[in-house]
């Protein structure tokens, strides 16, 4: 047998590479023209995730006040949530920044939401989470049992 016939050729021809590049460029152009690059779905997902993060943070601080017996004061600022509590004379502060929303509602005009050591809250109210994408979700705080929940979109 001839050794030249047994030898396999490896690699791609120039024509195959050009066809692959043409197909990729057409796909990219199609995706860009249909709005695939739009940030709206991504910003909506980021907003929803941040709403959930705020809810879980509030529930966490409420549970911590029950567990250690010290009240937590929650203030809603322009760029985030500030939590302050004092244990044995030492002031502790946490800050949770927000990027996709602003706050409006009952707790934003300098009012403080307080979590007491037995799980109740200082006052009932509604906090609107106004997304930069136009969406609005609300966190509802109930008086009495101190239940906190996020409304459905």
Give 4's pLDDT tier (boundaries 50, 70, 90): low
Q: What's the number of CA atoms in the CB half-sphere (13 Å) around residue 113?
A: 31
Whether 38 has a pLDDT exceeding 50, the answer reads: no
Tracing tokens 């409006």 back to the chain, one arrives at 104
In terms of average pLDDT, the best of 11-15, 24-28, 94-98 is 94-98
State the pLDDT at residue 19: 86
Tell how strand 80-87 and strand 90-97 pair up.
antiparallel
Whether 62 has a pLDDT exceeding 90, the answer reads: yes
Whether 39 has a pLDDT exceeding 70, the answer reads: no
State the pLDDT at residue 35: 55
Q: CATH homologous superfamily for 40-150?
A: minor pseudopilin epsh domain (3.55.40.10)
pLDDT in tens, 80-136: 999 999 999 999 999 999 998 999 988 887 789 999 988 899 989 999 999 887 889
Bridge partners for 125 per DSSP: 141
Give 17's pLDDT tier (boundaries 50, 70, 90): confident
Read off the pLDDT of each residue in 125-151 and give the average, rounded to a whole number.
90
How buried is 37 (Cβ within 10 angstroms: 0-12 exposed, 13-18 middle, 19+ buried)?
exposed
State the pLDDT at residue 16: 84
**Predicted TM-score of the model (pTM):** 0.71
Three-class SS of 28-59: HHHHHHCCCCCCHHHHHHHHHHHHHHHHHHHH
13-17, 31-35, 69-73, 127-131: least confident range? 31-35
């Amino acid at each position: 047998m001839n050794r030249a016939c047994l030898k396999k050729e490896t690699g791609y021809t120039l024509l195959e590479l050009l066809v692959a590049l043409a197909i990729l460029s057409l796909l990219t152009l199609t995706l860009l023209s249909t709005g695939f690059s739009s940030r709206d779905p991504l910003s909506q997902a980021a907003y929803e995730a941040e709403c959930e993060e705020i809810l879980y943070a509030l529930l966490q601080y409420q549970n911590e006040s029950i567990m250690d017996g010290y009240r937590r004061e929650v203030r809603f600022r322009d760029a985030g949530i500030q939590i302050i509590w004092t244990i044995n004379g030492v002031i502790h502060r946490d800050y949770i920044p927000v990027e996709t929303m602003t706050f409006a509602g009952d707790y934003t005009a300098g009012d403080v939401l307080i979590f007491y050591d037995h799980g109740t809250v200082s006052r009932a109210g509604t906090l609107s989470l106004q997304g930069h994408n136009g969406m609005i979700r609300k966190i509802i705080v109930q008086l009495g049992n101190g239940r906190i929940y996020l409304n459905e979109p």
